[in-house]
Structure 1
Amino acid sequence: MSEVYRKLVDFFNLSDPNYIRFVRKYEAKTKKEIAFYLFIGLLPGLIAYVFIYPLREMIMAWTDLSAHYVQLYVLVLMSAGWHMLVPFLMLRYKDRLSFKESLVYLGFTRLDLKGLVFVFPILTILFTLLSLPYVKYVYPPFFEWLNGFPAFHMGEWHVFYQGYYDPAFPLPLLLIGLIGNFIGEEIYFRGYLLRKVGLLKFDWLWIAIIFQLYHMWQVPINWAYVPLAIMIPEEILVKLRKNIYGAILLHLFVNFLWGMINMYLVGVR
């Protein structure tokens, strides 16, 4: 049994002691530092919430933009601005890493074909199957309960219902938003913050929960998925394969295909 377990571990886990030593050199060393990185995981979501909920109508009056476009502009700025710039700036000016070293730190320098071709599909299929009971029986009432709070209520004006990927949105900004969403969030949460809080026990679970909580502008959706965070494998993929590409692919899968699969299998999206 131990031999089978070892082979299983070797199959899923990419061993790279040099990379582990490199990453650990720059991880947070104190509880105060760890708390700081957990906090800045939530901060962009809090800022987005303030602009999308309390300030939305004021911004609409100032700019003559629709509610839909106000939200899209806010989210583009947060995803492509904050998520992509903050990690590189922090790594450059706080940790004194070069741009190339930052790419190594964030997991961009190894294209892991085994992980993408074999490990990623296996974990994605397992996650999808294991999540079905939760999505069918727990998520809907949890969503409705959260959506009942006025501070969190997602009305028809909300970007989730209006559409995140509006083809009428200026093409350059749409592309920046897409890049910021699928690459920027992965850089920020799984590339940067996950490695910064590496001393935390269950660091992957902490970041998985922080990622859901950070979506404060759509609390009923993402907060209802917090209990499911234990089986969402983006952080696990990064820790196992020592690169960020599998997490980016899984993010694309969840946003574009997972909901459709859930709708087909259990009638809930």
Structure 2
Amino acid sequence: MIKIRPSVAHFFNVSDPKYVQFLRQYDAKGWKQITFYISMALFPGLLAYIGVFHLRESIMLWTGMSSHYAQYTVLVLLTAGWHIFVPLLSLRYVDNMTLKQSLCYLGFRRPDLKGLLLVFPLLAIIMTLLSIPYLHTIYPPLYHFFNSIPWLAIESWHIYVVGYYDFPFFLLLIGIIGNFIGEEMYFRGYILHKLGSVKGDWIIVGVLFNVYHFWQAPINWAYIPFSIFIPFELLVKLRKNIYGAIALHLFTNFLWGTITYMLAGVR
């Protein structure tokens, strides 16, 4: 068994027993509750898939929107709506928390400069180096396999192909808040903490996060075997806040893909 030196563990991990005790009060109790929160992780992704793949043309007909805007509307309602308000409302009316307690539970605590300036960049570099052989050998066949399934295939009309960020500033800002803050609130702030009593919770939530992307399954499902090396959940568990995960999400979407795809020779 590998032993981690205390100095190394202290560098990565923030010791805060009171905060951990606070989180543990609201853990899912028993398999019924655990199953409920696992289903809660996947349910919004299923809604987004239905909206993008099956209701897109109806939304276009009802609203006069283009295909691009119809898909964006579905995803914004999901990420900036469901992902932000469901945790806040649940913590308020189910767990009886105040707004301050809810934000603390979700990881919006005092900013962690060491985590953002040292731990996050280090874990991002490690993730990037580990991802290159994976992207070169395992990712392409998995992507092509999932993309060959008709009901999952990403076609020319899909927002991933047309562009996620090609929108006017105000609409883009809402989408960015939902994508990078909303998803982190929901998965690494809410679902991860609710599953805190489950062994390997960070791996489970990492897998759930990729599975949840039903509407772009070929891309995210091809990353499922690599989930153990993507440290979103670890950053939250180690640093006891959500800021590093938000920063890593921004890095992953805007820089990591370009860098690793180029180095791995993936198109």
- TM-score between both structures, scaled by the size of structure 1: 0.96
Residues 1:144 and 2:144 are matched in the alignment: yes
Question: 2:220 & 2:19 partners in 1: Cα distance?
Answer: 32
Residue matched to 2:200: 202
Residue matched to 1:56: 56
Cα deviations across residues 26-51 of structure 1 (Å, max 9, x unaligned)? 11111110110010100000000001
| 1:125-144 matches, cutoff 5 A | 125-144=125-144
Question: 1:151 & 1:3 partners in 2: Cα distance?
Answer: 46
Question: 1:128 & 1:65 partners in 2: Cα distance?
Answer: 38
Question: 2:95 & 2:211 partners in 1: Cα distance?
Answer: 27
Residues 1:221 and 2:219 are matched in the alignment: yes
AA in 1 matched with 2:180:
F
Question: 2:95 & 2:78 partners in 1: Cα distance?
Answer: 23
AA in 2 matched with 1:192:
Y
Residues 1:108 and 2:108 are matched in the alignment: yes
Cα deviations across residues 33-84 of structure 1 (Å, max 9, x unaligned)? 0110010100000000001111212222222211111100000100000000
Residue matched to 2:252: 254
Question: 1:139 & 1:4 partners in 2: Cα distance?
Answer: 31
Question: 2:136 & 2:33 partners in 1: Cα distance?
Answer: 39
Question: 1:10 & 1:194 partners in 2: Cα distance?
Answer: 22
* Partner SS for 1:153: coil
Deviation, structure 1 residue 173: 2.4
Q: Does the CA contact (< 8 Å) of 2:60 and 2:67 recur in 1?
A: yes
Deviation, structure 1 residue 137: 1.0
Residue matched to 1:177: 175
* Partner SS for 2:149: coil
Residue matched to 1:8: 8
RMSD: 1.3
AA in 2 matched with 1:258:
W
* Partner SS for 2:223: helix
* Partner SS for 2:81: helix
Residue matched to 2:236: 238
Question: 1:63 & 1:111 partners in 2: Cα distance?
Answer: 42
* Partner SS for 1:268: coil
Question: 2:126 & 2:109 partners in 1: Cα distance?
Answer: 27
* Partner SS for 2:5: helix
AA in 2 matched with 1:154:
I
Q: Does the CA contact (< 8 Å) of 2:135 and 2:261 recur in 1?
A: no
Deviation, structure 1 residue 172: 2.5
AA in 1 matched with 2:128:
T
Question: 1:150 & 1:67 partners in 2: Cα distance?
Answer: 19
Question: 2:156 & 2:38 partners in 1: Cα distance?
Answer: 32
AA in 2 matched with 1:52:
V
Task: Classify 1:218/1:108 alpha carbon distance in 2 versus 1 (closer, same or farther; 3 Å).
Answer: same
Residues 1:70 and 2:73 are matched in the alignment: no
AA in 2 matched with 1:214:
Y
Structure 2: 5+ residue stretches without partners: none
Deviation, structure 1 residue 4: 6.5
Identity among equivalent positions (%) equals 56
Residue matched to 2:93: 93
AA in 2 matched with 1:8:
V
Structure 1: 5+ residue stretches without partners: none
Deviation, structure 1 residue 255: 0.2
**Residue correspondences, number:** 266
* Partner SS for 1:199: coil
Task: Classify 1:3/1:31 alpha carbon distance in 2 versus 1 (closer, same or farther; 3 Å).
Answer: closer
AA in 2 matched with 1:89:
L
| 1:27-38 matches, cutoff 5 A | 27-38=27-38
